Amino acid sequence: MTIPHNPPELIQPAHPDWLTAIRDRVQAAHDDPFFVTDCEGDLSVWRQSALTHVTRNSEGEITGWSTPPSYKVTDHILEIELDTWDPGEDPLDDQRRSDIHDLVTARDHDRPRLLAHIDQLQQRLDRAEAALPGITQLAPGEPVKVTIYRTEHSEDLVPLGHYTNRDAARAHGEALAKHDTKQPGLTPGWIPDSGSPDAAEELSVFGPGEDDEDITGYVVVPVTATSVYEPDAEAED
């Protein structure tokens, strides 16, 4: 697979509907967190907003509370009567305690962390795509092929710089040409040697007269770099 080296624009993938739905549920959980109580064999899940006399530590965790004397049915999310009062007395009760704590932790803590991690990964993908257009579109199992751009001079063909995008390679050539000519007011123009999007380009400068044009000799050449040696592809070239 060859990565498209010069797409017309960087297209950001839209978030799928399921991810948007998860974000909505995470926001709802953030606005209305749950709390697990385990007292004298009663394992319950409450909305934190329904609890009374709540105290918290410096990290915002609840360290003290009272269950409300009256409440809406929806405030008491779940209630399980256990056979034991304390953990470690019965494996089945311990499993139910663990399961309920895990569900609440996943709802109120794990999902936000996972979404934050997804956002970080997306930012990295966006930066990678901006640096090497097409790099995030690779198919698993296929060799990696990326196009880089070499700035050189047509006289000696010595590489002057390699860049991940054509604009940076052009900027290098234009800076060198400006240093060579030392003449203000000239307009740079890159002339492709064919109509192909993979064509090499040579820099000309125009001005100061209307019909004045000089070829600078600076060239930008697309070069394909691949992760594997492909003798068949070499034979075709």
Which pLDDT score, from 0 to 100, does residue 134 have?
Answer: 77
d(CA 164, CA 151): 11
Tell me the mean pLDDT in the region 90-97. 97
Tell me the mean pLDDT in the region 197-204. 93
Proportion of the chain above pLDDT 70, given as a percent: 92
Asked if residue 6 has pLDDT above 50, the reply is no
Query: Which span out of 12-21, 189-198, 208-217 was modeled with the highest average pLDDT?
Result: 189-198
Better-predicted residue by pLDDT, 211 or 186: 186
Task: State the SS3 of the chain.
Answer: CCCCCCCCCCCCCCCCHHHHHHHHHHHHHHHCCEEEEEECCEEEEEEHHHCEEEEECCCCCEEEEECCCCCCHHHEEEEEECCCCCCCCCHHHHHHHHHHHHHHHHHHHHHHHHHHHHHHHHHHHHHHHHHCCCHHHCCCCCCCEEEEEEEEECCCCCEEEEECCHHHHHHHHHHHHHHHHCCCCCEEEEEECCCCCCCCEEEEEECCCCCCEEEEEEEEEEEEEECCCCHHHHHHC
Which pLDDT score, from 0 to 100, does residue 111 have?
Answer: 95
Is 154:190 a contact under the CB 8 Å cutoff? no
The residues spanned by each domain of the chain are 17-135, 145-236
Asked if residue 137 has pLDDT above 50, the reply is yes
Nearest of 192, 189, 220 to residue 207 by alpha carbon:
189
d(CA 114, CA 220): 43
Which pLDDT score, from 0 to 100, does residue 234 have?
Answer: 58
Asked if residue 73 has pLDDT above 60, the reply is yes
Which pLDDT score, from 0 to 100, does residue 136 have?
Answer: 83
Is 127:120 a contact under the CB 8 Å cutoff? no
Which pLDDT score, from 0 to 100, does residue 237 have?
Answer: 55
Which pLDDT score, from 0 to 100, does residue 7 have?
Answer: 43
* Position 14 confidence tier, pLDDT thresholds 50, 70, 90: low
Asked if residue 11 has pLDDT above 60, the reply is no
